[in-house]
Amino acid sequence: MAGAVNKIVNYTFRLNGAGQAQSRMRGLATAAAGIGLAIAGATTQLFMMANRLTQNAAAIEDFSRQTGIAASELAGLGYIAEQDGASLEALGAGIKRMTRTINDAEDGLQTYIRSFDALGISVDQLSGQSVEEQFYIIAEAMSKVADDSTRAALAQEIFGRGGMQLIPMLDRGREGIEEMADEARELGIILDDEVSNYVFVPLNKNR
């Protein structure tokens, strides 16, 4: 638990740069680690405080519930989207539109079946996959489209109006996206699974 608490503190202040509050938060983290489970209520307050200071954490949790993608996975995707000039909001909206597009294609809507055919993807390849796996399959296919106008049109058809913003991220392909997310986790820039469990589970219980 101590490790997760310290990671939350580090993550929160790397985003917010709150120097004075950092000292206070570290004090709380040390106390929580020493006392342990007996003060679970106090540590929950710590997590909620960190969350309030980190707007991205709240947005990630919301989009996680809306898209079905794990918070830690979405944190990585959101970080990459922002590095590539998009936003977490554009990513979340794009993924939600993507799932609707896939559902429409599964229902036989030819417009979207043709979009996936243009990427060399069959609807059967996407059906039954997790949302993040669907995103990776499409990103990998998009990265191989050579013509800029075709890539832009397909991005908008599949991801909606904000699809254009996601093109630089999609151009990385699956491997490039996964590698960048792994590097960011190793550097502590984004939440890993351990920290996500401590941050988002208490928040969900308090909804």
Distances (CA, A) of 74 to 118, 119, 135: 27, 24, 11
Alpha-carbon 138 to chain mean position: 16
What is the pLDDT tens value at each position of the chain, 207 positions in all? 545 545 554 544 444 444 444 555 555 455 555 555 445 555 555 455 444 435 667 778 888 888 888 888 888 898 899 999 999 899 999 999 999 999 999 999 999 999 999 999 999 999 999 999 999 999 999 999 999 999 999 999 999 999 999 999 999 999 999 999 888 888 877 655 555 454 444 444 455
What is the pLDDT at residue 38?
47
For the chain, the domains span 2-64+194-205, 69-184
- Paired tokens of 189: 């820039």
Query: What is the reported pLDDT for 19?
Result: 45
pLDDT reported for residue 65: 87
Q: How many CA atoms lie within 13 A of 86 on its CB side?
A: 24
Q: Tell me the angle at which helices 88-106 and 163-170 cross, rounded to the nearest 10 degrees.
A: 100
Q: Which amino acid, residue 186?
A: E
Q: Which two tokens stand for residue 27?
A: 């004090």
Question: Coil, strand or helix: which one is 177?
Answer: helix
Distance CA 21, CA 25 (A): 6
